[in-house]
Amino acid sequence: MALFDREDYIIRNRDILDPEYEPEDLDEREREVNEYASYLRPIIKGWNPNNLFIYGDTGIGKTVVTRYVIRELLESVEQYDDIDLNVIELNCTNTSTSYQVAVHLVNEIRKPDSEKEPLTTVSSERDVLSETGYQSKRVFNELYKDLRDLGGTILIILDEIDNIGNDDEVLYELPRARTHHNLDVKLGVIGISNDYQFRKNLSAKVKDTLCEEEFYFEPYESAELQNILRKRTESALFPDTMDSGVIELCSAKAANDSGSARQAIRLLRKSAELAEREAINSNNPDMLITETHVRNAVTEIQKEEVVEGMHDLTIHGKYLLLAITSFAAEGDTPVRTRRIYERYTNLVEQFSSKPLKRRGAHDHISKLNMKSIVRDVDTKGERGNFNKYELDVAVESAIEALEADSTIGELTKLRETAEQNNVIST
């Protein structure tokens, strides 16, 4: 066999299994699509659009539904000569302040981000702004100048707006720009957030206008994920490449954890990749994706997440993770902070470093907790006031990630211990 051949095994089109792939038709979001459409209907009538706030966990279709509905809207609007609809779409992932959002908005108008087929329909001759160095007022004035020039009906979509945290001035300014700055336009703002807390923490004056209409996306249930996955596999995989139960298992795992379609798709893709690799290695074109591949995929993805999460840990964070993992390997978690700290101290000294004070160590445990690598366990009902922790990922994943890290030294014992205690399979 040649080193590279184009033999067909399992995956027909890997791009379609990309969690960011946008399918042409959406399943399981009919209610949201209709609700969305009803909020946007005033635009078609030539009325001023509503401001709209959308929230719900990550991976549940907020962005794809928005893009789908806006595309439909743009298409419908074409029939009406008296409506001039300008859409500006901004993803706020890389903005942490209102100032940055304003700069990025101006630049999206002047030079739309062409990378991902943005919904943005406008462009302008003016020069883009640099990221820093202007007075905030100047940036907003530039923005109003552009909006005034665009005219007509303007819809501004701010996706992942929760990135601006408490600095929500832009959300106060934009919906009021029409009246405060005398813009002869019809202006609507759609804010999309992955974080419900953000909605709660908005200042009252922002809530009043931005959240004039709002709706919530529910996480997907297992049956809904099954339909989404099944549809995806029709074009992404060759026929009859899945054992029964694979879609169900991927959906159940994602539904139990997050209800995220992104997570379900990622799991399915990883399972398909593991099966394909096995098919190629064993030269077996009849290989199917099985539930075992899905289980292995879960571990592998978790491992990737731990590895990813470990990137910006200091060496102390890593030793604390090692300490907690070694308790897990002994089948002795959840474990109290005091014992974690003792073991961490021993480990650090063994690798000839100086341990942190208790307080510092605890900050690192909190960080692991925030990254969902470990979790704190409710100790209510037990006597005394103390924290207990356990791994929030499979022991196997944590061990593999630790073993793969070259900065912490040899860890042969860890895996042996875990195997002896039957917490991982041999």
Binding-site ranges for ligand ADP (CB under 6 A): 19-23, 26-29, 58-64, 194, 228, 261-262, 265
Considering the complex, state which of residue 69 and residue 294 has its C-beta at the smaller distance from ligand ADP: 69
**Measured between alpha carbons, how far is 415 from 426 in angstroms, rounded to an integer?**
9
Q: Give the C-alpha distances (Å, rounded to integers) separating 23 from 232, 258, 417.
A: 8, 21, 46
Tokens of 282: 């064993």
Q: Which does 21 bind (CB under 5 to 8 A by kind): ligand ADP, Mg ion, none?
A: ligand ADP
Pairing, β 335-336 against β 388-391: antiparallel
Considering the complex, state which of residue 18 and residue 416 has its C-beta at the smaller distance from ligand ADP: 18
At its nearest, how many Å lie between Mg ion and the CB of residue 54? 10
At its nearest, how many Å lie between ligand ADP and the CB of residue 249? 18
At its nearest, how many Å lie between Mg ion and the CB of residue 263? 13
Considering the complex, state which of residue 62 and residue 270 has its C-beta at the smaller distance from Mg ion: 62
Considering the complex, state which of residue 163 and residue 325 has its C-beta at the smaller distance from ligand ADP: 163
**Measured between alpha carbons, how far is 219 from 191 in angstroms, rounded to an integer?**
19
Name the residue type at position 408.
I
Q: Which of 51, 63, 251, 325 binds Mg ion (CB under 5 A)?
A: 63
Residue 231, phi then psi, degrees to nearest 5? -60, -45
Pairing, β 186-193 against β 388-391: unpaired
Among 354, 234, 368, smallest CA distance to 313 is for 368
Q: Which does 112 bind (CB under 5 to 8 A by kind): Mg ion, ligand ADP, none?
A: none
Q: Which does 20 bind (CB under 5 to 8 A by kind): ligand ADP, Mg ion, none?
A: ligand ADP
At its nearest, how many Å lie between ligand ADP and the CB of residue 209? 23
Q: Considering the rule CB under 5 A, would residue 163 count as an interface residue with Mg ion?
A: no
Strand partners, 190: 52, 157
Of residues 190-229, which lie at the interface with Mg ion (CB under 5 A)?
none
**Measured between alpha carbons, how far is 2 from 20 in angstroms, rounded to an integer?**
32
Considering the complex, state which of residue 63 and residue 417 has its C-beta at the smaller distance from ligand ADP: 63
Tokens of 113: 């981000």
Q: Give the C-alpha distances (Å, rounded to integers) separating 265 from 224, 241, 251, 293, 294.
A: 12, 16, 9, 14, 11
Considering the complex, state which of residue 129 and residue 192 has its C-beta at the smaller distance from Mg ion: 192
Helix intervals (H) in 111-168: 136-150
At its nearest, how many Å lie between Mg ion and the CB of residue 255? 19
Q: Which residue is nearest to Mg ion (CB)?
A: 63
Q: Which does 262 bind (CB under 5 to 8 A by kind): ligand ADP, Mg ion, none?
A: ligand ADP
Q: Considering the rule CB under 5 A, would residue 251 count as an interface residue with Mg ion?
A: no
Considering the complex, state which of residue 140 and residue 217 has its C-beta at the smaller distance from Mg ion: 217
At its nearest, how many Å lie between ligand ADP and the CB of residue 91? 10
**Measured between alpha carbons, how far is 18 from 16 in angstroms, rounded to an integer?**
5
CA atoms 76, 79, 81, 82: torsion sign? negative
Residues in contact with Mg ion by CB under 5 A are 62-63
